[in-house]
Amino acid sequence: MTDEFMELFDAPDTTENPDPAEPETRQQVVQIRDPLDPGPVIALFGRFHGEIDRMASQVEGVNVTNPAENEHASTLTLQCKNLHNTLERKRQRIKEPYLRVTRLLDSEVKALRDRLNVIQGGLNKKIQAFLMAEEKKRQEERRRLEEQQRAEQARIDAEHRAKNEELARAVRERAEAEAREKGVDEEAARQAAEQAEQEAMQQAPAAPVVVTPEPPPVMSQTDHGTARLKTKTAWRVTDFRQLPDELFKARWDMLEKAVAPWINAQVKAGRTQIPGVEIYEETQLETRTRR
């Protein structure tokens, strides 16, 4: 990484504008930019692409087969790390003014929202208690209407069944009379009458169904909106050991990340055996840059 490049990055953003009064001279004029415009900041970091392209071209033909090549490769990787650290430091430095503003903004808005949450929470408890009492009344009214519906339906069914049976008996009697007039023997007449009665019962219309209107849902409605009770399915884990295997397999990386802090603390404390965990030695390359 060249010193000229770093000086270019650290230099103030300026542009050369001709002075109309003195055409032969040029002066440095600092540009005034919108502080919320990310373009200049992105462009500032965009200058690193050329330096990274140069480093990428340098490492294309690198082979490490002897001490000299190893030293050269180590120099390149340390330069990469140094540039990586430089990018991170400058990112943090440039972001800090924005973060200070957003932290103050978030803190102020959070304080306001927390106060509103307290107010709304108190109101919601009272509204929910009232609506639950009204819902209890609604369910009681619903049960009363259902019982009334069942009783009315039973009455209508009985009346309809009696009418159908009376009609079927009349059909049977008429069938028996017709069979006797034709001189059919008693048994055949009886069978013909029974068949006619069964057909009449089968063709008889069904009893009308009593429909009870559903009590209106419990809700509060104003010009600002509505408030009503809502039932949703909730859950909580009672025993992780009984959860199905597919849950863990589908989220293995997430679970490892979640338990990593605890496992790392146990390993750091000297623990060498943890049920369900394989602890082993792993070789990694460590690089340190000089400041």
What secondary structure, in 3-state letters, does the chain show?
CCHHHHHHHHCCCEEEEEECCEEEEEEEEECCCCCCCCHHHHHHHHCHHHHHHHHHHHHCCCCCCCHHHHHHHHHHHHHHHHHHHHHHHHHHHHHHHHHHHHHHHHHHHHHHHHHHHHHHHHHHHHHHHHHHHHHHHHHHHHHHHHHHHHHHHHHHHHHHHHHHHHHHHHHHHHHHHHHHHCCCCHHHHHHHHHHHHHHHHHHCCCCCCCCCCCCCCCEEEECCEEEECCCCCCCCCCCHHHCCHHHHHHCHHHHHHHHHHHHHHHHHCCCCCECCECCCCCCCCCCCCCC
Q: Which residue has the higher pLDDT, 62 or 20?
A: 62
Q: Name the 3-class secondary structure at 273.
A: coil
Burial class (CB in 10 A: 0-12, 13-18, 19+), 197: buried
179 C-beta neighbours (distance < 10 Å), count: 19
Q: How confident is the model at residue 22 (pLDDT cuts 50, 70, 90)?
A: very low
pLDDT of residue 183: 67
| Whether the predicted pLDDT of 112 surpasses 80 | yes
| Whether the predicted pLDDT of 174 surpasses 80 | no
Between CA 60 and CA 67 the distance in angstroms is 18
Between CA 213 and CA 286 the distance in angstroms is 76
Between CA 242 and CA 135 the distance in angstroms is 37
| Whether the predicted pLDDT of 21 surpasses 70 | no
Q: Which residues contact 94 (CB under 8 A, 6 or more apart)?
A: 41, 44
Q: Using one digit for the tens of pLDDT, what is the confidence trace for 236-246?
A: 999 988 999 99
8-state DSSP, 277: B
Query: Token pair for residue 41?
Result: 């900041």
**Whole-prediction pTM:** 0.52
Mean pLDDT score across all residues of the chain: 82
Q: Which residue has the higher pLDDT, 48 or 16?
A: 48
Between CA 104 and CA 97 the distance in angstroms is 11
Q: Using one digit for the tens of pLDDT, what is the confidence trace for 203-236?
A: 777 777 778 788 888 888 888 888 888 888 889 9
pLDDT of residue 232: 83
pLDDT of residue 184: 66
Phi-psi region of 214 (alpha: psi -120 to 50; beta: other; left: phi over 0): beta
